[in-house]
């Protein structure tokens, strides 16, 4: 099968990561979670004791740090300067600051350049907020995956409960998701938005398997 690229964008908690990982596994493609890269920068910033509004210091740190994304069957491993931060980048403290750091133009420039590089040899399923619009505008398949805020919060809540890492109430989670959606949609540089040629999928009342099957169905036309 010829390789091609798939871009999956959408708001927080729409199921992008799980779905992108399963689609990549089914096709034998590489899954790239770009949100993890913004989270990795946020982790480093917090390690250095900086606030998210210290832009020039943040940009200097981001230029010095090394981010490695290692594809694993269970997901993507994230290494920052030889430290495994895969779990550490999922804490509430990181989630609280990540969207502000992701709105810094120079940070986006740096990470988008890395992401474009990863997509050059094709066979990539990349998820994020600006993949279909900026990172892979030529992706053969583009999906904009969404679901209602309450459904997304409920899914995250269940996920956190089952992993024993639930530190927020359902209401707090819903509030946090709505806050991040707003910041991501309203930022000046590459805001979250559906690419004109992206297929819109509302997964509110769809199972993960149904969404994966629908995307794989779209891929059949490309083979």
Annotated binding site for ATP: 10-18
Minimum CB–partner distance for residue 49 and ligand C5P (Å) = 21
Which residue reads 């004109």 in tokens?
Answer: 196
- Sign of the CA dihedral with 136 first, then 137, 138, and 140 last: positive
Closer residue to ligand C5P, CB minimum distance, 114 or 223: 114
Give the Å distances, CA to CA, from 153 to 26, 79, 136, 149, 174: 27, 28, 28, 6, 5
DSSP assigned state of 169:
-
Closer residue to ligand C5P, CB minimum distance, 29 or 33: 33
CA–CA separation, 192 and 84 (whole Å)? 28
Minimum CB–partner distance for residue 220 and ligand C5P (Å) = 27
- Sign of the CA dihedral with 152 first, then 155, 161, and 163 last: negative
Closer residue to ligand C5P, CB minimum distance, 12 or 23: 12
- Sign of the CA dihedral with 172 first, then 177, 182, and 187 last: positive
- On the CB side of 195, CA atoms within 13 Å amount to 24
Closer residue to ligand C5P, CB minimum distance, 29 or 52: 52
Minimum CB–partner distance for residue 92 and ligand C5P (Å) = 12
CA–CA separation, 61 and 72 (whole Å)? 27
What is the helix (H) or strand (E) element at residue 127, kind and residue range?
strand 124-128
Question: Could you tell me which residues are annotated as the binding site?
Answer: 10-18
CA angle, residues 18, 20, 22, in degrees to nearest 5: 70
Minimum CB–partner distance for residue 34 and ligand C5P (Å) = 4
Closer residue to ligand C5P, CB minimum distance, 2 or 74: 74
Minimum CB–partner distance for residue 146 and ligand C5P (Å) = 13
Interacting residues with ligand C5P (CB under 6 A): 12, 34-35, 38-39, 98-99, 102, 128-130, 180, 184
């Amino acid at each position: 099968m010829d390789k091609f690229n798939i871009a999956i964008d959408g708001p927080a908690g729409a199921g992008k990561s799980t779905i992108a990982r399963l689609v990549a596994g089914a096709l034998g493609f590489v899954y790239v979670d770009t949100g993890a890269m913004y989270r990795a920068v946020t982790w480093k910033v917090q390690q250095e004791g900086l606030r998210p509004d210290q832009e020039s210091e943040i940009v200097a740190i981001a230029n010095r740090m090394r981010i490695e994304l290692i594809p694993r069957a269970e997901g993507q491993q994230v290494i920052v300067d030889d430290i495994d931060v895969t779990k550490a980048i999922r804490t509430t403290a990181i989630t609280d600051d990540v969207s502000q750091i992701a709105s810094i133009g120079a940070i986006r420039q740096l990470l988008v350049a890395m992401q474009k590089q990863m997509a050059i040899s094709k066979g990539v399923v990349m998820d994020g907020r600006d993949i279909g619009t900026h990172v892979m505008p030529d992706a053969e398949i583009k999906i904009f995956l969404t679901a209602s805020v309450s459904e997304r919060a409920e899914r995250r809540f269940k996920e956190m409960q089952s992993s024993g890492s639930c530190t927020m109430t359902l209401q707090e989670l819903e509030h946090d998701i709505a806050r991040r959606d707003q910041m991501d949609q309203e930022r000046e540089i590459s805001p979250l938005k559906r690419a004109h040629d992206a297929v819109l999928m509302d997964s509110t009342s769809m199972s993960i398997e149904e969404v994966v099957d629908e995307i794989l169905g779209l891929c059949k036309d490309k083979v």
